[in-house]
Amino acid sequence: MAAAVAAAASSPHALLRRNPNPISNNTPRIHALNLRSAANNSRRISCVASSTTPLHSTRPASSQSPDRVFNFAAGPATLPESVLRKAESELVDWNGSGMSVMEMSHRGKEFLSIIQKAESDLRQLLGIPDEYAVLFLQGGATTQFAAIPLNLCKPGDEVDYVVTGSWGDKAFKEAQKYCKPKVIWTGKSDKYTKIPSFEDLDQNVHAKYLHICANETIHGVEFKNYPTVRNPEGILIADMSSNFCSKPVDVSKFGVIYAGAQKNVGPSGVTIVIIRKDLLGIAQEITPVMLDYKIHADNNSLYNTPPCYGIYMCGLVFDDLLKQGGLKEVEKKNVRKAQLLYDAIDNSNGFYRCPVEKSVRSLMNVPFTLEKSELEAEFVKEAAKEKMVQLKGHRSVGGMRASIYNAMPYAGVEKLVDFMKDFQARHA
């Protein structure tokens, strides 16, 4: 554990642990919130937020249109409203072309300019070195569970999986069909609330790769730094579906990064793969053409008809993230939002609980339970009446889960926290 914690302490996420109150200006903020009581009476209450929420954080008028809900879904998830508005304005006629992006040939100059800008903005955001290919694919991250071993292994090859949650487990199970994977660590007995210390990992020195899920969406555990692969020829592979572009990442530490777009960077239907180019071209012979990374890399993701509109939407999100100042700035906002929510849980005298070990709590997916579990359905129902939706936890773990991806405004987390305090006051 020591190494993981020490390394994590040097990361910006350490903010969450070192300084529990980094944004306090010690000025209690008072604001009113319309809340409907369980008895269905509409009433106006005042919530005195803790001094962790400064005056200047009151929601900017632009943060959300009144007709939109705060959507805490795990994915497909909320998108920046500004991006949706831009897409709306271009829906029927993109850039004077007289066509919707949905109607364009994927080989025409208009769409080529869209996909090229999307790729170049993503490269800029993540600082992706030239030795890496960026692929815009289909099939979701689930398809990558098979594509990874098919592209990188022969059937007899040994590979290692660290299983920190359900997605890592699914990736491991799929790999069993195509190579010889081994689970070298699993958090199952702790209900997936931990990340292992890296020196305790019993890595196979012959493993072709070490696979991790950088952020387990269901359980809310996130790697804050990454293990070094023991095999000098081996590579690190990460499923970053639920924390992709939520913070800077040193891409050069990985052989492959993959992510479904539908949490942080776009609609469902686009899967992004970032792969070191020297790993292309060694796929098993049985690999379907649609899963062969080299085919897609050689054809700039245009081997067949790509998910054009989804790629366009991802491009708008990348542009927006760059305009926000890039991933360092985005990470700061994510830390601040997560801090507010975890503080509310931890300061509730046990009324709310987050089971995840503090040092590895996800900035993106915050699972929590109620001490009085019989109130959980009521909590979700009342929150929905207040236009905060999709707070029910995953069916496999129960409780609640607030997914607070890049596009969730600070005001959304503020509103949730205010609601949680009020709910507690009424049910404690």
- List active site positions: 167, 239, 263
> Which residue, 213 or 280, has its beta carbon nearer to ligand PLP?
213
Q: Which of 52, 64, 225, 241 binds ligand PLP (CB under 6 A)?
A: 241
Q: Is 204 in the site for ligand PLP (CB under 6 A)?
A: no
What is the rounded (10 degree) CA torsion for 301, 306, 310, 313? 50
Is the four-CA dihedral 257, 261, 262, 266 of positive or negative sign? Answer: positive
Supply φ then ψ for residue 376, to 5 degrees.
-65, -40
> Which residue, 218 or 297, has its beta carbon nearer to ligand PLP?
218
- 69 vs 9: CA distance, rounded Å: 35
Give 395's contacts (C-beta < 8 A, 6+ positions apart).
Answer: none
Alpha helices in 10-80 (DSSP H): 15-18
Q: For Cα atoms 220, 20, 186, give the angle at the middle one, nearest 5 degrees.
A: 25
Q: Which of 70, 136, 161, 167 binds ligand PLP (CB under 6 A)?
A: 167
Q: Is 217 in the site for ligand PLP (CB under 6 A)?
A: yes
Considering the complex, what minimum distance in angstroms separates the CB of residue 23 from ligand PLP? 29
179 to each of 109, 154, 205, 284, 348, how far by Cα in Å?
41, 6, 16, 10, 47
Q: Is 370 in the site for ligand PLP (CB under 6 A)?
A: no
> Which residue, 141 or 184, has its beta carbon nearer to ligand PLP?
141
Site for ligand PLP in 253-312 (CB under 6 A): 260
- Radius of gyration from C-alpha coordinates of the chain: 22
Per rule CB under 6 A, count of chain residues that contact ligand PLP = 11
Considering the complex, what minimum distance in angstroms separates the CB of residue 229 from ligand PLP? 20
Q: Which of 47, 133, 137, 141 binds ligand PLP (CB under 6 A)?
A: 141
- Mark residues 73-92: x for contact with ligand PLP by CB under 6 A, - for none: --x-----------------
C-beta of residue 253 within 8 angstroms of C-beta of residue 271: no
Which H helix or E strand runs over 404? none
Considering the complex, what minimum distance in angstroms separates the CB of residue 143 from ligand PLP? 7
Q: Closest residue (Cβ) to ligand PLP?
A: 140
Six-digit token string for 227: 């293990």
Q: Which of 20, 76, 80, 140 binds ligand PLP (CB under 6 A)?
A: 140
> Which residue, 227 or 260, has its beta carbon nearer to ligand PLP?
260
**3-class state of residue 38 by DSSP:** coil
Of 7-15, 58-66, 134-142, 321-329, the segment contacting ligand PLP by CB under 6 A is 134-142
Residue of 321, 331, 341 lying closest to 413 (CA atoms): 341
Considering the complex, what minimum distance in angstroms separates the CB of residue 100 from ligand PLP? 25
Which H helix or E strand runs over 62? none
Which residues would be at the binding site for ligand PLP (CB under 6 A)?
Answer: 75, 140-142, 167, 213, 217, 239, 241-242, 260
